[in-house]
């Protein structure tokens, strides 16, 4: 593990409300939620951003999205709808440089984005 915030959460060094965990990903509730459901889904492998992905990471990225689908169902928002967001780089709003997928739902989302 590296010294980033999310790596420390994965290692159990920083407490979080983990809602899902397996050998590839960890999912936990955001500490500053923007909606009733706001879960961060992160790979257990440190990858700084989408820009750092390699061909070997393709199945891991698919697993992130599969976990998001399962969590949406678990949270009771699959039928009503939800938003998945990945921020990349400073102009994309990325604040923590460990790839993460935001699962947001529980109320009607506003448009337009950006």
Q: What is the pLDDT of residue 110?
A: 86
Q: What is the pLDDT of residue 1?
A: 46
Q: How far apart (Å, rounded) are the C-alpha atoms in residues 17 and 40?
A: 10
Give the residue among 1, 103, 104, 93 at the shortest CA–CA distance from 47.
1
Q: What is the pLDDT of residue 3?
A: 86
pLDDT band at 108 (very low <50, low <70, confident <90, very high): very high
Q: What is the pLDDT of residue 114?
A: 55
How much is the average pLDDT of 1-8?
84
Measured CA distances, 85 to 43, 69, 99, 105, 110 (Å): 15, 13, 11, 11, 14
Listing DSSP states for 14-73 in one string gives: S---EEEE-SSEEEEE-SS-SSSEEEEEEESS---SGGG--GGGHHHHHHHHHHHHHHHH
Give me the residue spans of the domains in the chain: 5-105
Rg value, the chain, Cα: 14
User: Whole-model pTM?
Assistant: 0.94
Residues with a catalytic annotation lie at 100
**Tokens, residue 31:** 């500490």
Q: 5-105 in CATH: which number?
A: 3.30.428.10
């Amino acid at each position: 593990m590296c010294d980033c915030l999310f790596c420390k959460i994965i290692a159990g060094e920083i407490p979080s409300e983990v809602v899902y965990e397996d050998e590839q990903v960890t999912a936990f509730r955001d500490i500053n939620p923007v909606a009733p459901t706001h879960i961060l889904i992160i790979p257990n492998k440190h990858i700084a951003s989408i820009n750092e992905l390699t061909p070997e990471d393709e199945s891991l990225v698919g697993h992130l999205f599969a976990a998001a689908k399962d969590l949406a169902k678990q949270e009771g928002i699959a039928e009503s709808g939800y938003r998945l967001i990945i921020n990349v780089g400073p102009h994309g709003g990325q604040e923590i440089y460990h790839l993460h997928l935001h699962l947001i739902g529980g109320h009607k989302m506003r448009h337009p984005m950006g």
